[in-house]
């Protein structure tokens, strides 16, 4: 059976001097997930392992790198979906946990649902998740950026992190994690923890993780739309591009998406200036990382097929 994993570190403008950090973080996350798959672990375990790496890296808007909301606090959203059972577990607007994706995993295992705010934190407490003072999740870089953008009246992008994977038993999983945006009112839920919107996994078709403008993505249920576009054997690259077209045509939204199908073929597309991604399939000796689709096309990567 083919193995495959793909991660993203968010769709946004990535300046030339930021590209290497983004690629390095995505490569590290992909390798962490790949190691799980290669030793026979499940797609869910691989996705969780990869997203935890991204949540620890302040380069990315998730976990420790989360944007601060309009009140200057970190609130995080994350979800995991299992393609075999269509089960999904998620947390929204949670504070004071190290790894929202792991809390989402525990929710999925306990009783697939979406828990928010204090209820989510209470669940994390009673289910052995790593807790911390909410202030400890505010990175110095994001604090400075928040102050600068606030003073200039600027909005941050909707970057988010995510992962999709196929394991040796043919199971698919998707995960997404985010810190939202610096203009979030406290309590806002974007697309990221909502099955069908920020992520989707259907064992008969494929799995998808989104990044982008949460309100637009939710209005066209974009992750499910992208997965449905795999029907009939459409290549994930084409399905991802068609999903971006739907978003632009129907709600004029901005986003990026990663997709994997049941054969382990991967695909991605974006209509934000950049998206950081990395992937590895059974056909590859090491993961590859990119910050723009054109970069991959220039390199003529033919390793999409697992």
Site for ligand GLY in 138-157 (CB under 6 A): none
The residue among 212 and 264 lying less far from ligand GLY, judged by its C-beta, is 212
Choice from 57, 75, 167, 191 touching ligand GLY (CB under 6 A): 191
Q: How many helices (H) and strands (E) does the chain have?
A: 9, 12
| Smallest separation, CB 281 to ligand GLY (Å) | 26
Choice from 156, 192, 274, 281 touching ligand GLY (CB under 6 A): 192
- Of residues 30, 264, 35, 285, the one with CA closest to residue 169: 264
Which span sits near ligand GLY by CB under 6 A: 114-122, 140-148, 188-196, 221-229?
A: 188-196
| Smallest separation, CB 191 to ligand GLY (Å) | 5
Choice from 214, 236, 253, 267 touching ligand GLY (CB under 6 A): 214
Site for ligand GLY in 52-91 (CB under 6 A): none
- Of residues 108, 117, 111, 110, the one with CA closest to residue 90: 108
Contact 217, 244 (CB under 8 A): no
211 near ligand GLY, judged by CB under 6 A: yes
Which span sits near ligand GLY by CB under 6 A: 23-31, 100-108, 148-156, 185-193?
A: 185-193
Helices marked H in the chain: 19-38, 43-56, 100-110, 117-126, 140-152, 214-219, 222-228, 236-251, 293-299
100-110 and 43-56 are packed helices; what angle lies between their axes, rounded to 10 degrees? 150
Site for ligand GLY in 164-183 (CB under 6 A): 178, 180
Choice from 63, 92, 100, 190 touching ligand GLY (CB under 6 A): 190
160 near ligand GLY, judged by CB under 6 A: yes
Angle at 262 between CA 5 and CA 285, to 5 degrees: 35
30, 59, 102, 160: which is the annotated catalytic residue?
A: 160
The residue among 79 and 97 lying less far from ligand GLY, judged by its C-beta, is 79
The CA distance from 146 to 126, in Å, is 32
The residue among 31 and 209 lying less far from ligand GLY, judged by its C-beta, is 209
The residue among 196 and 287 lying less far from ligand GLY, judged by its C-beta, is 196
The residue among 42 and 211 lying less far from ligand GLY, judged by its C-beta, is 211
- Quick one: residue 140, left, alpha or beta (phi over 0 = left, psi -120 to 50 = alpha)? alpha
Helix (H) or strand (E) holding 127, with range, is none
Active site residue 160: yes
92 near ligand GLY, judged by CB under 6 A: no
Which span sits near ligand GLY by CB under 6 A: 52-60, 94-102, 206-214, 298-306?
A: 206-214
Q: From residue 227 to residue 246, what is the string marking binding to ligand GLY with x (rule CB under 6 A)?
A: --------------------
Contact 109, 85 (CB under 8 A): no
Contact 274, 11 (CB under 8 A): yes
158 near ligand GLY, judged by CB under 6 A: yes
The CA distance from 64 to 60, in Å, is 8
Q: Are strands 255-261 and 266-270 parallel, antiparallel or unpaired?
A: antiparallel
DSSP 12-72: E---GGGHHHHHHHHHHHHHHHHHHHHTT--HHHHHHHHHHHHHH-TTSSSGGGPPP-TTS
The owner of tokens 């999709």 is 164
216 near ligand GLY, judged by CB under 6 A: no
Which residues are identified as catalytic? 160
Interface residues toward ligand GLY, by CB under 6 A: 158, 160, 178, 180, 190-192, 211-212, 214
């Amino acid at each position: 059976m083919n193995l495959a994993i793909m991660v993203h570190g968010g769709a946004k403008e990535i300046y030339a001097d930021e590209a290497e950090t983004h690629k390095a973080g995505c490569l590290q996350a992909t390798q962490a997930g790949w190691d799980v798959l290669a030793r026979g672990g499940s797609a869910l375990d691989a996705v969780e392992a990869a997203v935890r790496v991204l949540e620890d890296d302040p380069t990315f808007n998730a976990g420790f790198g989360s944007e601060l909301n309009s009140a200057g606090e970190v609130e995080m959203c994350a979800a995991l979906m299992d393609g075999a059972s269509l089960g999904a577990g998620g947390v929204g607007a949670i504070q004071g946990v190290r790894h929202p994706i792991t809390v989402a995993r525990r929710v999925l295992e306990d009783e697939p649902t979406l828990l928010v705010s204090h209820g989510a934190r209470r669940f994390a407490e009673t289910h052995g998740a790593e807790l911390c003072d909410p202030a400890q999740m505010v990175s110095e870089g994001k604090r400075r950026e928040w102050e600068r953008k606030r003073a200039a009246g600027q909005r941050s992008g909707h970057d988010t992190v995510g992962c999709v994977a196929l394991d040796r038993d043919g199971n698919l999983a998707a995960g997404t994690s985010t810190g939202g945006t610096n203009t979030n009112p406290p309590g806002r839920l974007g697309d990221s923890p909502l099955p069908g919107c920020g992520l989707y996994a259907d064992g008969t078709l494929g799995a998808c993780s989104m990044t982008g403008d949460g309100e637009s993505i939710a209005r066209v249920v974009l992750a499910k739309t992208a997965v449905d576009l795999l029907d009939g054997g459409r290549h994930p690259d084409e399905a991802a591009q068609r999903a971006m077209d739907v978003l632009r045509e129907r709600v004029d939204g901005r986003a990026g998406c990663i997709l994997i199908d049941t054969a382990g073929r991967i695909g991605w597309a974006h209509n934000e200036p950049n998206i950081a991604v990395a992937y590895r399939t059974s056909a590859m000796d090491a993961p590859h990382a990119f910050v723009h689709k054109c970069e991959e096309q220039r390199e003529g990567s033919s390793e999409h097929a697992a």
